[in-house]
Structure 1
Amino acid sequence: MAQQVLHITPEYLQFVLNATKAKEYYMDFKMDDLKFKYQLRDCEFLHVRSSIQWLDRHGIFQRNPQMKELHLEELPGEQINDLLKQWINGQVIDLEVLGFFNCRGYPNEVILDGIVTMETRLTEQQVRRIFEFRNDVGTTVDIQRKIDGQLATVHINQSGCLVRMCNEKLLALL
């Protein structure tokens, strides 16, 4: 039996988001309006499936400096590239994980276009532990935020792009 996806209107989504003021959102719905944009604020965890075009991603980390995790499905690679550049060029934020999933995968050259990368400082075993995969073919590189030099490890494989910020808390677990 096929899973039924809920269809909602921009007005209803705006009403729900304005009324809840939650810190965590796990959303899976379909919206056909390509013009509607919502500037989410004060969010810590955001997971969106099915329709993502409603989310205004420009300046999302400035509006949500306490964001810890952002997971978006079927986001075009160019827009992932823009989000990575926002993190690189932005202010210090609490972000720990970015996850972008696509059933067709992402080409490295689109996501990392114009982004300075370096060989990851993590060992292969550490990379496997933080990205929780066993036998995966993909590209793993580090990127660095300009304001404070914080590193993030980017792993691109056949199912998506995962980014983990290499902070002391994460490194202590490895």
Structure 2
Amino acid sequence: MQVYGVTGWKNAGKTGLMERLVAEFTSRGLRVSTLKHAHHKVDVDQPGRDSYRHREAGAHQVLLASENRWALMTELRGGQEPSLSDLLAQLEPVDLVLIEGYKREPHPKIEAWRSDADNPLIAPDDPTIRAVATDTPLDLDRPQFDLDDTVAIADFITKETGL
């Protein structure tokens, strides 16, 4: 299972790039999963639903299943956030896992960067960033791609991972 990341600051275009890359890789016949890190409180459940009530009552895990999908929710209840490697181990084997966020982890990444977002570039100080997807040319010592050139970015990731 190959792992490749898309990182960058808020409003850099990470999620849009992730969405386009998933569509591109799946159109090439690859099985793709994603893992996204959130810095804010996230809840995939809704107050009042049975599964929410199970969690509120104190369940450590709640598995919600239907004919279309299933989701396993684990409550940390003050425990430590799982490591990236622990989370990756929870995924079923696929060809490629695309990771959004986790900018300080050692896996290879592409940085999404938009000039109007007014954030510093991460790449100059981070060798795990193998390329930058940007909306403007940059003076940088690694490959650059137009942020919207999904095919070229996917080709680069394919070459990097050997897929």
Scaled by the length of structure 2, the TM-score of the pair is: 0.26
Larger RCO, structures 1/2 (Cα 8 Å, 6+ apart) = 2
